[in-house]
């Protein structure tokens, strides 16, 4: 079985409070975007994971697919082992949710391949044990996310059919470190801003991590400015970084970035 786990972007990201458990509540809009890894699953005598493509900073045993496999084993003792091949195209530490997407698509594929009988709500509960944003990729549709990013309200995609340009500056950002630096602010007007014309977003749709990442890595601010200069309607950091994405009504001029950074382009569906 082969599937293609996709990335996501965040339209706005407000960190609203630190929880008693040490995690943070947020408000954001997750949107799936056309950047893909490749995941192949084959029956095998024992479980294994082989990685190809872009290197990842974590150890193989810490990969979220391994975590997903162990979670499945905890609820379905008789699952047959599989050999997993993962080609990484979505960079780690980029704020694009690649690791969570891989794990969620692994759960969905295993459920389908072996007829495990899990419903989508069941899969969301399993994915929630993997990471806060992993449940999003079960339904994989535009949604407002609250709490730790694991409570979803599906919405009409506010950037449907817009061109997207994603620039990855080859910087790995630790989400844990980024959250440690952010100052929570309770108020958020995300839903109202998303309903407004995209021309308003530049001034009102904010990602609370931007100033932290721009301060620590000034080249990310430079990328944002160049994307606006190229004709983008809206430009933002995705998640806690380090990728910068641009939304536009037409393809952007990206020659400035060639040879410096990794670039992806497509149309949001």
Catalytic residues: 8, 133
Query: Torsion angle of alpha carbons 196, 202, 206, 207, nearest 10°?
Result: 130
| Spatial contact of 101 and 238, defined as CB atoms under 8 Å apart | no
Element (H, E) at 194: helix 190-195
- The 3-state DSSP composition of the chain as helix, strand, coil percent (nearest 5) reads 30, 30, 40
DSSP string, 205-268: --BTTHHHHHHH-HHHHHHHHHHHHTT-SEEEE-TTSS-EEEEESS----GGGTTTSEEEEEE-
Beta bridge partners of 28: 13, 145
Side-chain half-sphere of 249: how many Cα atoms within 13 Å?
A: 3
Number of continuous H segments (helices) and E segments (strands) in the chain: 9, 12
Identify which of 208, 202, 205, 210 has the alpha carbon closest to the alpha carbon of residue 191: 205
């Amino acid at each position: 079985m082969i599937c293609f786990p996709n990335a996501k972007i965040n339209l706005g990201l407000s960190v609203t409070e630190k929880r008693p458990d040490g995690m943070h509540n947020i408000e954001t809009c997750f949107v799936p975007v056309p950047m893909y890894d490749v995941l192949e699953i084959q029956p095998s005598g024992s479980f294994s994971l082989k990685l190809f493509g872009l290197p990842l900073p974590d150890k193989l045993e810490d990969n979220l697919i391994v975590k997903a496999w162990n979670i499945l084993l905890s609820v379905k003792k008789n699952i047959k082992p599989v050999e997993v091949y993962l080609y990484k195209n979505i960079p780690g530490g980029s704020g694009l949710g690649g690791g969570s997407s891989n794990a969620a698509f692994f759960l969905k594929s295993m459920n389908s391949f072996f007829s495990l009988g899990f419903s989508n709500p069941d899969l969301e509960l399993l994915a929630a044990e993997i990471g806060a944003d992993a449940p999003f990729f079960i339904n994989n549709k535009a949604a407002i996310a609250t709490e730790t990013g694991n409570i979803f309200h599906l919405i009409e995609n506010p950037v449907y059919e817009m061109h997207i340009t994603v620039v990855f500056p080859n910087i790995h950002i630790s989400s844990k470190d980024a959250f440690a630096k952010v100052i929570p602010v309770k108020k958020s007007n995300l839903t109202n801003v998303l309903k407004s014309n995209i021309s308003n977003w530049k001034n009102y749709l904010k990602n609370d991590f931007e100033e932290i990442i721009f301060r620590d890595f000034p080249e990310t601010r430079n990328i944002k400015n160049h994307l606006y200069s190229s004709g983008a309607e809206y430009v933002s950091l995705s998640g806690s970084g380090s990728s910068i994405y641009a939304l536009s009504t037409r393809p952007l001029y990206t020659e400035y970035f060639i040879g410096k950074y990794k670039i992806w382009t497509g149309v949001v569906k």
